[in-house]
Amino acid sequence: MQNLFVALREKYPGAEVRDVKFIVNPEEVANQEVAEIDAKLGQVVETAVPLAGAGALM
């Protein structure tokens, strides 16, 4: 998950990335290369906007 961690470090310089967890639908990722999934996750991080606190999850 190199691209994912690079994107996180670039978006949040100085922050320490300790762990990243995500849930995927196995049917949607079947037959895809890990590098392809990694690249897509990196793109998601680059364009994502942080949530405004824990209340934004609801």
Give the pLDDT confidence score for residue 54 in this predicted structure.
63
Q: Does the model's pTM come out above 0.85?
A: no
Taking the alpha carbons at both ends of the chain, their separation in whole angstroms is 28
Amino acid identity, residue 48? A
Q: Could you tell me the two tokens for 37? A: 């999934």
Residue 55, pLDDT > 80, answer no
Amino acid identity, residue 47? T
Residue extents of the structural domains in the chain: 2-53
DSSP 52: S
Q: Are 17 and 45 in contact (CB under 8 A)?
A: no
pLDDT tens across 10-54, in order?
Answer: 888 888 877 777 777 878 888 888 888 888 888 988 888 877 776
